[in-house]
Structure 1
Amino acid sequence: MKNIVFLVILIFTQYSFAQTFFSFEGKEVAAGTKAHFKIPVEHEGVSTFIPVTIFNGATAGETLGITAGIHGYEYPPILGAQRLIQSINPKELTGTVILVQLANVKSFLGRSPYVNPADGKNLNRSFPGKEEGSISEQIAYFISNNIINRVDYFLDMHAGDAPEDLMRYGAYYNNATMPEISATGKEMALALGFNHIVTFNTEGKDYMKAEKPSLYTSAEAFKRGIPAIDIECGRLGIPEAEAVDQVEQAVLLLLQKLNFTSKLKVLSTTPAILIKNRIYTDSTVDGIFYPLKKAGDYVVTGMKLGYTTDFFGNIQETIYAKADGLLLLILGTPPVNKGETVAVIGLIRN
């Protein structure tokens, strides 16, 4: 009798924890395997696709969604995602990972910063998208409704676009009315291994209102009650090998933190510096910008960060630091347009 009871318990335990297939776009991805998908998108005779890889673990668990290449000129996350195709082993995975390794193929192939050349839209201002909208709106709609709505955690990966000298950091979404989700996001961001973590405070933001669009990829996830984090790793559209390595390792550390993989790597014992708020400075003129500082520099209020001349060399505007803090971003290339952000300072103090 004892042997029968033991056998029943063993069978029940194996049944409870064994992974089943993961259904995606009409295909069943077996446990312990991965599968690649090319999701077609077409609008008014213009077509593209979204490359997606599903890693369905050998053991049942939660689901993590990852997007890279929302901006096609931000290369380190895109190349890091290519690495993940090989470095995530579904046979050793608990749960499921949905990886969009390059959301904006048209932007990537067109070497187009910020916007999708197919419709001139910024994909990271297009969420939650439209099912029958333009190319970017359809991509946003698919990610929102076929990926984000199926995950327990979400990560969006970015870098400094073509003109942006950007400091590397992780980030998480925070809102006082969502304390548990915010706290989980913070722990996820800390697990990425970056020296600095930025808090995306969402109190009072229009995109958090039910009747307003979320605009940003990870904001769409957070608005749906999913812990959401970002990676910013890379600068000036340069595919630096070190940045690519850091993106890949950050994701592997996150998988470890969330118990998708066994704990093989030692987490950093150096506490990350938390950046509570950000101060933006926009240009008031068109012209040629000359930066005097670089991303990662500590600056103090009133410090000269750069200046803009007209096309005859006459100084039209000087940019000064509006606060003490860390220079997260500064325009790193000469062209500047009125209204564009030229500098972002992270405030470390409360």
Structure 2
Amino acid sequence: MLQFIFGAMMRYLFTMMMGLHLSAAFAQAPFVGIAQHVLPGSVHAWMQPVGKTALPITVIHGQFSGPVLTLTAGIHGDEFPAIFALQQLAQNIRPDQLHGTLIVVHLANLEGFHGRRIALSPVDEKNLNRVFPGRAEGTLTEQIAYFMTENIISQTDYLLDIHSGSANQTLLPHVYSPVMHQAPLDEKTLAFAKSLGIPQIVLYDERPHDPAHSISYPNTAQTRGKPGLTLEVGQLGQRSAEDSALIVQACLNAMRHLNMLDPSAVNGSAMVASTAQPKSQPVLYRKLVEVHSPVTGIFYPLVKVGDAVVSGQAVGRVANYFGQPLETLYAPVAGTVLMQKETPPIREGESTIDIGVLQ
């Protein structure tokens, strides 16, 4: 009898030790970064000082080990749907069921947001998405870029920068998947892009490969060997709930692709339903071709986003201020209209329409 009891106790202790060993194998260490110390299975949200501004940041540090995914809104302060999408997402992810870490930069350009500026900061008239990797002693926009390079990108494994059409622009939802001509990185980046479930993906290799002159936020991640995407959803400077919902779905799809989410890791039935992976294959475009206006005047579009156009097709016209025709604009290539200026003012040399050319 004693031998039976002793054997049962030993089996119990062995089972407990194995459970502890497995738990330790999958558990996370605390997240240490961005001047914060976040325990596994917890959430921390704060206003991070940067120069004379601050960035609203949330870190959701999962209970279990996994990748670090950064989601960013408001690089351009007049692009609103992602701001609301990331608020909703951050409020509904359960850290006790999360594998990995989610860094949410809710609004990267606070001055541009409150100044209602298209792309630029009213403080220094700079475009945050054109000054990376930034400078520690530069203008405010350059300081923000430097902080995000040194403290956000350095911590992340995957980055998703979320944009929309400004008040003057309509667009078809699409993803930019950079091509660095580095096979492992390009394959990982494209798989990440496809996972979002957005039907249009633009492959482009026009950004610099020099980490010291990376220019844009996602490209800064790419030049450091980390997949960085740009997601474009929303238009005309609006705050559409439908656009925000599409962004939430894309983010959840990405997290599922990275094995960060179990069904129980998301609160709310609507958000759980959104975690299904996309079933259809996206359309791939090998580049974007802009149609520029050769004159200054009033722009009249002759197509709309989503339209298929052929080379030589009239896609717009420009008139003078009396309504008299100045120029007709023609598509230089065949493809799909992905973006278009919708407001009348146009200056010589400005882009009016962006056509996606199929791969």
Could you say which TM-score interval applies, normalised by the shorter chain?
over 0.9
When you count helix as a share of all residues, which structure comes out higher?
2
Matching residue of 1:223: 223
What's the TM-score once normalised by structure 2's chain length? 0.90
Alpha-carbon distance in structure 2 between the residues aligned to 1:119 and 1:89: 39
Matching residue of 1:314: 324
Matching residue of 2:145: 140
Query: Counterpart of 1:102 in 2: which secondary structure?
Result: coil
Q: Which of 329, 340, 353 in structure 2 is aligned with 1:343?
A: 353
Query: Could you tell me which amino acid in structure 2 is paired with residue 101 of structure 1?
Result: H
Identical positions, percent: 36
Alpha-carbon distance in structure 2 between the residues aligned to 1:282 and 1:133: 33
Alpha-carbon distance in structure 2 between the residues aligned to 1:111 and 1:134: 19
The answer to whether the aligner puts 1:302 opposite 2:302 as a matched pair is: no
Deviation of the 1:41 alpha carbon: 2.6
Q: For this pair of structures, how many residues does the alignment match?
A: 340
The answer to whether the aligner puts 1:278 opposite 2:278 as a matched pair is: no
Check the 8 A contact 2:62/2:97 in 1, yes or no.
Answer: yes
Deviation by residue 1:66-125 (Cα, 9 ceiling, x = unmatched): 111100111111221121121222122111011101101111111111101111001110
Report the structure number with the largest CA radius of gyration: 2
Query: Could you tell me which amino acid in structure 1 is paired with residue 217 of structure 2?
Result: T
Q: Which of 275, 300, 309 in structure 2 is aligned with 1:290?
A: 300
Matching residue of 2:210: 209
Deviation by residue 1:190-219 (Cα, 9 ceiling, x = unmatched): 1111111111224xx4x21355x1111100
Query: Counterpart of 1:322 in 2: which secondary structure?
Result: coil
The answer to whether the aligner puts 1:188 opposite 2:189 as a matched pair is: no
Deviation of the 1:287 alpha carbon: 1.7
Query: Could you tell me which amino acid in structure 1 is paired with residue 306 of structure 2?
Result: G
Check the 8 A contact 2:340/2:352 in 1, yes or no.
Answer: yes
Matching residue of 2:65: 60
Deviation of the 1:17 alpha carbon: 1.4
Deviation of the 1:4 alpha carbon: 5.8
Matching residue of 1:89: 94
Structure 1 residue ranges, 4+ long, deviating more than 4 angstroms after superposition: 1-8
Deviation by residue 1:154-189 (Cα, 9 ceiling, x = unmatched): 11111111211111112211222x111111111111
Alpha-carbon distance in structure 2 between the residues aligned to 1:296 and 1:135: 37
Matching residue of 1:111: 116
Query: Could you tell me which amino acid in structure 1 is paired with residue 197 of structure 2?
Result: G
Check the 8 A contact 2:164/2:233 in 1, yes or no.
Answer: yes
Query: Counterpart of 1:234 in 2: which secondary structure?
Result: coil
Worse-superposed segment, 81-90 or 98-107: 81-90
List runs of 5+ in structure 1 lacking aligned partners.
none
Q: Which of 22, 32, 42 in structure 2 is aligned with 1:13?
A: 22
Matching residue of 2:240: 240
Q: Which residues in structure 2 correspond to 1:243-258 (within 5 Å)?
A: 243-258=243-258
